[in-house]
Structures are given as structure tokens and as C-alpha cells.
Amino acid sequence: MVGGGNSSTVSPVSAEVEAYEPVIRIYARQYGIEEYVELIKAVMMQESGGQGSDPMQSSESGYNTRYPREPNGITDPEYSIECGVQALKDCLQSAGVENPVDIIFFDWENDGTVDHVGIVGA
């Protein structure tokens, strides 16, 4: 992930996040957002660093229908990723993002929704 502004700093994701890339790819492909794998990894890095049983912090998401909707309620990392990918896809569609380079920023809220997304030309 590249830093903001005129920065050329690259902040790699953790080895724990990288380890989830094959699972992330499966669900990104399944939900039609495979071109956003790097963004999904960046979200996971921000949310958990790839740690714990809810690495996407998806427990409170509306896509979680199997576990309690409370912090860290999901106890299956793969299910957390599936829910997180669906939530991100919804966010991107709601914001009208059509290409990964369109994204400037987004802000997750505590309830699993996105407060705002900035896109180029918006």
C-alpha cells in the first residue's frame, strides 16, 4: 500500500495478512472484486494485522449471519474474510468506484458501515 500525498513510502502488510492472500483471492473472485485483493489486504492490516479469529473485523457487519454481532463474535477467520469482502464490495458499489485507482480514502464506522469514500473526480 502506498502512502498518501506525495509520499513514495510503501508500508507492507504483515506476514499474517499475506498468509490469508489465497483465501482473500477466493472470495474476491467469488464476489467479483478480484482486482481489489491488495485493498482487501490493506483493510485487514488496518483492522487486525491479520491477527485473531476475525481478521477483517466483520462480526458487526450485516453480512455476518452465523455468529453474534458483537466485537470479535466471528470465530472463523475464513468466514470473517468472506463477510469483509462482501462489505467492501458493497462499499465500493455504493461509492460508485469502478477501478482500484479511483479510490482516495474510505472510513469504516464501528457498526461495519462506511462513513465516506473519496473517489477521483467525485
Q: What pLDDT is recorded for position 81?
A: 98
Q: Where are the domains of the chain?
A: 15-119
User: Could you tell me which CATH class the domain 15-119 is placed in?
Assistant: mainly alpha
Neighbours of 24 (CB within 10 A): 27
Query: pLDDT digit string (tens) for 3-54?
Result: 444 444 557 899 999 999 999 999 999 999 999 999 999 999 999 999 999 9
Please, what is the average pLDDT of the chain? Answer: 82
Q: How far apart are CA 119 and CA 122, in angstroms?
A: 6
Query: pLDDT digit string (tens) for 108-122?
Result: 455 544 444 444 444
Q: What pLDDT is recorded for position 50?
A: 97
Q: What pLDDT is recorded for position 5?
A: 47
